[in-house]
Amino acid sequence: MSLFAKKPLEQILAQAEDAEKGLKRTLGPANLIALGIGAIIGAGLFVRTAAAAGQAAGPGVTLSFIVAAIGCAFAGLCYAEFAAMIPIAGSAYAYSYTTMGELVAWIIGWALIMEYALGAATVSIAWSEYLNKLFGMRIPYEWTHSPFESFTDSAGIHHSGIMNAPALVILLLLTLLLIKGTQESAMVNMIIVFIKVAIVIVFIFIGWKFINPANHTPYLIPADTPPVKDQAGKIIADYSGWNKHGLGGVLGGAAIVFFAFIGFDAVSTAAQEAKNPKRDMPIGILGSLVVCTILYILFGHVLTGVASWKDFVDPEKGREASVAYAISTYMHGYGWLATAVTIAILAGFSSVILVMLMGQSRIFFTMSNDGLLPKAFGDIHPKFKTPYKANIILFVFVGLFAAFVPGHVAGDLTSFGTLFAFVLVSAGVWILRVKAPDIQRPFKTPIYPVVSTLGVLICSAMIIGLDTQTLTVAFGWMVIGLLVYFIYSRHHSKLNFRPADVLPTADDFEQQK
């Protein structure tokens, strides 16, 4: 079989309409927008904003959000065309399968694990940290950190992590919720979204009057900014790189905060559970992106105005709890808001984890149905109509990572997986417009091919903006994925049951049932 054999579009559409073996259609446009906002507003807003400001962009992090949002907008329009045209779980993986062939689809499916699974692990670790802060640091260090983390307290006592127990608990609870049902999960997510968006708006509204204009001058980090060292003399921030200062820093910051925009493409993984995907998927994808982009720009402007970007260089000083730090240090009399923000952060992290786990399980579900993953990943619960075995397997994988691996390891890898998916989806729209111009498209990407081309270029530029270590690890991850494909997936692919020059049709697969 050719490595680039394509899955027939007719087969995909037939699979999407299989009510008996497929997923239950329960989501409307409001649910889809809430799913997008649920995934978008979380770790990116409350943690990555300060990280991007302190490491690369300074007050210009607002420009980083704009650059990232533009890349997302182009990719989002391409996602909307695909999601309306091919309403099936699997997101960029499913779209690549029908446009660029099996090998490319496998590569993007493997890359999406970095986006959703590692993203869920990263956010669950952050959830654990904020829960402990809300409780006044009463949970021992040993049970909130991985075995690879340690520190010496002011009394000279050395502490080493054992496992991150709270992260494991939140992953288990949300996995059980997802197994129970998509509609129930969507309702819980909508409640969480309302709470955290309300608190974000309150912070923007109150924090605006505490903005110090001096904190926005200069707006970009100067090229001659010296490295920043911690008390032990270790360099924790170096601004000599091209993507660590000036306009280059804005692009570097965009690559960092891009982690904050992964939510809207998670909406596309729920296409097979949308009541009217041809209408509702574009609304959910683009609606959630617009709402969150506006909130992000306002939030970044207020945060870097209330506190100097230099306050966010040292993680111990303010980056990891940036909003609470800014409120307690510079917004005197609003201690209650710091507590409310911490609650919003916990709520935000919860909804992000929920949507990421949901998105990854749906991708596993679709890859299993194609034979590229073992059958267990595609089994549907007879009562709840959810891919419960995929959820359980995912909990084990993500849980092990969250409990025993430091959170900073996966943050930028998640951005890589997202950007890589965006590049291929944007390219896929162009390819399918050329090769299959007569396919019915309920939603069309406007200003074609300009939008799809810019989606490829801008997202590729942000990949280049990632640091060398992240790119090296990502390359290693992709090599492992190729080994898995050639050892297992290629030989079990459902497209591999006849000669390569005669591909199966939807009728062939119906007979196989």
The pTM of the full predicted model, rounded to 2 decimals, is 0.74
**Res. 263 pLDDT band, cuts 50 70 90:** low
Question: Shortest CA distance to 440 belongs to which of 69, 82, 38?
Answer: 82
Q: What is the pLDDT of residues 363-409, one digit of tens each?
A: 888 889 888 999 888 888 888 888 889 999 999 999 998 888 876 66
Indicate whether 504 belongs to any domain.
Answer: no
pLDDT at 168: 93
Indicate whether 15 belongs to any domain.
Answer: no
Mean of pLDDT values over 205-213: 94
Mean of pLDDT values over 295-305: 93
Indicate whether 234 belongs to any domain.
Answer: yes
- Evaluate if residue 21 carries a pLDDT over 90: no
pLDDT at 175: 93
Residue 187 is given by DSSP the state: H
Q: Which helix (H) or strand (E) holds 462?
A: helix 450-464
**Res. 321 pLDDT band, cuts 50 70 90:** low
Q: What is the pLDDT of residues 120-178, one digit of tens each?
A: 888 888 888 878 877 777 888 888 888 877 777 767 777 788 899 999 999 999 999 88
Beta-carbon contacts of 102 under 8 Å, excluding residues fewer than 6 positions away, are: 1, 3, 4, 5, 6, 7, 372, 490, 493, 495
Query: What are the beta bridge partners of residue 159?
Result: 151
Domain total in the chain: 1
**Strand, coil or helix: 51:** helix
- 269 versus 457: which is more confidently predicted? 457
pLDDT at 42: 67
Is the backbone peptide bond immediately before 449 cis, with ω within 30 degrees of 0? yes
Computed over every residue of the chain, the mean pLDDT equals 81
Rounded to whole angstroms, how far apart are CA atoms 426 and 450? 10
**Strand, coil or helix: 42:** coil
Indicate whether 122 belongs to any domain.
Answer: yes
C-beta of residue 69 within 8 angstroms of C-beta of residue 341: no
Mean of pLDDT values over 269-293: 80
- Evaluate if residue 322 carries a pLDDT over 80: no
Indicate whether 472 belongs to any domain.
Answer: yes
Indicate whether 437 belongs to any domain.
Answer: yes
C-beta of residue 272 within 8 angstroms of C-beta of residue 91: no
pLDDT at 302: 94
State the CATH number of the domain containing residue 254. Answer: 1.20.1740.10
pLDDT at 512: 42
pLDDT at 482: 93
Domain encompassing residue 279:
27-495
- 103 versus 135: which is more confidently predicted? 103
Indicate whether 251 belongs to any domain.
Answer: yes
Mean of pLDDT values over 339-350: 81
pLDDT at 449: 86
Rounded to whole angstroms, how far apart are CA atoms 395 and 119? 13
Query: Phi first, then psi: what are they for 144, rounded to 5°?
Result: -125, 10
Rounded to whole angstroms, how far apart are CA atoms 108 and 478? 9
Taking the CB of residue 513, how many other CB atoms lie within 10 A of it? 7
- Evaluate if residue 60 carries a pLDDT over 70: yes
Mean of pLDDT values over 412-437: 83
Indicate whether 513 belongs to any domain.
Answer: no
Rounded to whole angstroms, how far apart are CA atoms 204 and 300? 9
Rounded to whole angstroms, how far apart are CA atoms 375 and 362? 13
Greatest mean pLDDT range, 18-27, 146-155, 246-255, 458-467: 246-255
pLDDT at 499: 44
**Longest distance between any two alpha carbons in the chain, whole Å:** 73
Q: What is the pLDDT of residues 478-505, one digit of tens each?
A: 999 999 999 999 988 887 654 444 444 4
Cα three-residue angle 299-303-306, rounded to 5 degrees:
135
Mean of pLDDT values over 401-426: 78
pLDDT at 394: 92
Q: Which amino acid is at 199?
A: I
Q: What is the pLDDT of residues 274-283, one digit of tens each?
A: 788 778 878 8
Q: Give me the sign of the Cα torsion angle 35, 36, 39, 43.
A: negative
pLDDT at 315: 61
Half-sphere exposure of 98 (CA within 13 A, CB side): 24
Percentage of residues of the chain with pLDDT beyond 70:
86
- Evaluate if residue 214 carries a pLDDT over 90: yes
pLDDT at 486: 93
- Evaluate if residue 447 carries a pLDDT over 80: yes
In angstroms, the Cα distances linking 353 to 95, 270, 360 are 24, 15, 11
C-beta of residue 89 within 8 angstroms of C-beta of residue 23: yes
Query: Phi first, then psi: what are they for 42, rounded to 5°?
Result: -170, -120
- Evaluate if residue 19 carries a pLDDT over 50: no
Token representation of residue 399: 């849980």
Token representation of residue 152: 């010496």
